[in-house]
Structure 1
Amino acid sequence: MKKKRFLALMLVFTLLAATFTMGGCGTGNTTSQTNSESSYDGQLVFDHAMELQYAKLFSVEYYKGGYKLLTITNRDEDTAIVAKQSKILLVPEGMSTPSGLDADTLVLKTPVTNLLVSSTPVTSLMNASNCLSNISQVTYDKDSWYIDGVKKAFDDGKLTYVGDYKAPDYETIIAGAPTLAIYSTMLTGKPDVAEKLKELGINYILDQSTYEENPLGRVEWAKFYAALCNEEDAATTMYNTQAAYVDTLSKAEKTGKSVAVFYITSKGKLYVRNAGDYLTQMVNMAGGEYIFSDLNTDKTGTQEMNIESFYEKAKDADYVIYIWSLGGKPSTLSDFTGYNSVLSDMKAVKDGNVWCTTPDFFQIADTIGSMINDINLMLNADANTTELTYLKKLQ
């Protein structure tokens, strides 16, 4: 009898607990929140914009109900490839598409998955923002990658190589049916590929991070891609970590040491980074002084220069940063000076201050702050320091 009474009481408590759970505060708030969001279904009511520190070429606007509007300002306007602005409206699950949108606004459901990404820096930003699983196709094969997460994704069958961006395998792309393709601005040099993508109905955008004036602006593009994947918090955390390096260095005194940044091709052509390039800005932010500070101050990229003109300007540079992945690939200081005899007379060579970038230097954009810190460490290193995370001394 006592046992039955005990079981009856337990049943009552269980029912009361269930009633409280179903009608209590937790469920009530969830229902209220759902009703609040659904009240904005099909409407664009502005809430706030993403805060950006350095990036100028994209914006993310948040609307009530979970809608997001992503806008890219394309620096190289080429109507055959891409319009001046690219807009993507992200519609959350369970919500309908608002009416009255611009005809050229691309509408996608979030989170955006099954992406084709034809840019190693973009992939690195997404990898660092918990978005790698949203990528299914890339235009670089497994052997081209230095990012461990990407190589593992290949091994796990989660990434498919669709051929070089200049001549992709369209049948493989179609079979994968990507939701969106993300290309670097190099696509502007291959209008036939862009035209074919349009013909096949593959929506694409052009990453503009390389046009950002501040190196950290490149890193901040992680927030754009994170918005596609609903991973904004992860991207912000990563960005803040990289920005902290630069913030710390901005409070330190300049080293007063000059740096030459260049590479020499297998055919003997020498290329120097323009003064307006992000890499030369990284040198200055690290506390150094770029030796070619007056060379094309309004341009990024490189400038070909004959060896005599180069030597005349760079002979007294305190340090050399040689771009290993773009030119010849010296393993020793002897290999380096073997490119041209005049290099042996450079101050940096005589002082043993010739450093090479690591192979992954231009593949990853999510560690630019750390790279700047490495340049500062190089400028302050003693003779016994021969290797940093992204720089290695030639001996």
Structure 2
Amino acid sequence: MLLGLLGLTAPAAFSQPSSPPKARPTVAAPAKGRTTVTYAKGFTIAYTGRCKVITILSPFEQKTTATRYLLVPRGTPRPAGYPDAHVIAIPIRSLVGLSSMHVALASFLGAEDVVVGLGNLQYASAPKVRQRIAEGKIYAVGQGKELNNEQLVARHPDLVMATGWPGENLTRFQTLAAAGVPVMINSEWVESTPLARAEWVKVLAVLLNKEDLVNQKFGQVAREYQRLAALGQKASPRPRVVVGMPFKDVWHVPDADSYMAQFLRDAGTTYAWNQSKAPQGSLALSFETVAPVALTADYWLHLSSTATKAEVLTQDARYAAFAPFQSGRLYNNNRRTNAEGSNDYWESGAVRPDLVLADLLRILHPGLLPAGALHYYQQLK
């Protein structure tokens, strides 16, 4: 089988030019106490009198559906209008997050003390959140079919944040809705650019009345990301990359419209599936499809949970034939994995795409940036 693999040739996709850089939006400074959405496509923010309206768009149905939330200052009667909106009293004082992304949103805003519940206590990296877990100030509520509705109804947090998936919507939270516990479904992972994904931090900022803070902090992240992307897009040569590892015989790779593919474009790479599109951000490929690319790639990124080259070979001995394995250019995004097994790349990395891109540029274009340690990535040896 290995001899047959070595006889394969790389597909023509490697020679395809990368997609042109996406135009950078011109950002007007929002009014004090307000924020605007510049990059994200999955939500909108509006202001009406003393109230605010967040509209979350679901990308999973054939016809996009929208869920509207009317944010009313605490102690203020519900105003007229928006009869279909879910009402949330703001600023929220207690948040249950069912994803590590929601931990990242709170941590970015310095609002870790608002987090009172998580779907799983294991998957949190933020030091202040881990401290609150150790102090017994955060409870586990389960996820999916294991979600503990009784506990949530009894504790009655101001908001439960969930993650959107195909075929799921607010109807699965009917028990909480009937008890008056608001649920907001976020689908930031469907966004097509890293900055769009990170901009979901503005949703929580609006719920906390922290618009001025998020404008300042997210603005800094966006400007630095754009500066780095300008460097990466002009960099030469453009190394060939392969991403990921198979899981249950399926090798999922980022599709052209995914935020990860945009990372690769902004990092100045040649990516074989840069023009291939699929639903929900990834292509499900076979080993035999990806292997020709990996055989001649310059770098291999995102190697599951492996930490050494030896661990890579325990997955499949054929990996030894891949050019990045032989050259030692294997870089995994698990450098910041804590003792509980939580990988901070999937947490803070979601709201700090500038740090992720800086890592990629240091890996793929040595010398382009001043010398510095990698933040999220590590070389496998």
Q: Report if TM-score (shorter chain) is over 0.5.
A: yes
Match of 1:273 in 2: 254
Change (3 A) 1:90 1:294: closer
Residues 253-268 of structure 1 mapped to structure 2, 5 A cutoff: 253-255=234-236, 256-265=238-247, 267=248
Residues 1-395 of structure 1 mapped to structure 2, 5 A cutoff: 50-64=35-49, 66-77=50-61, 84-93=65-74, 95-99=76-80, 101-141=81-121, 143-186=122-165, 188-189=167-168, 193-252=172-231, 253-255=234-236, 256-265=238-247, 267=248, 269-295=250-276, 297-324=277-304, 329-358=305-334, 359-364=343-348, 365-381=350-366, 388-395=374-381
Bigger-Rg structure (1/2): 1
Matched residues in 2 for 1:182 and 1:78: separation?
Answer: 24
Question: What is the alpha-carbon root mean square deviation over aligned residues?
Answer: 2.8
Change (3 A) 1:160 1:274: same
Matched residues in 1 for 2:208 and 2:143: separation?
Answer: 25
| Contact 2:192–2:262 under 8 Å retained in 1 | no
| Contact 2:330–2:379 under 8 Å retained in 1 | yes
C-alpha displacement of 1:189? 4.4
Unpaired runs of 5+ residues, structure 1, are 1-46
Residue 73 of structure 1: SS of its match in structure 2?
strand
Residue 166 of structure 1: SS of its match in structure 2?
helix
Matched residues in 1 for 2:33 and 2:109: separation?
Answer: 22
Please tell me the residue identity of whatever aligns with 1:292.
Answer: W
Q: Which runs of 4+ in 1 moved over 6 A?
A: none
C-alpha displacement of 1:219? 0.8
Matched residues in 2 for 1:78 and 1:202: separation?
Answer: 28
| Contact 1:166–1:193 under 8 Å retained in 2 | no
C-alpha displacement of 1:93? 4.2
Residue 344 of structure 1: SS of its match in structure 2?
helix
Question: Quick one: percent identity of the two aligned structures?
Answer: 21
Residue 126 of structure 1: SS of its match in structure 2?
helix
| Contact 1:386–1:392 under 8 Å retained in 2 | no
Please tell me the residue identity of whatever aligns with 1:375.
Answer: L
Matched residues in 2 for 1:128 and 1:356: separation?
Answer: 24
Q: Number of residues paired by the alignment?
A: 336
User: Which gives a bigger RCO, structure 1 or 2 (Cα 8 Å, sep 6+)?
Assistant: 2
Match of 1:41 in 2: none
| Contact 2:103–2:126 under 8 Å retained in 1 | no
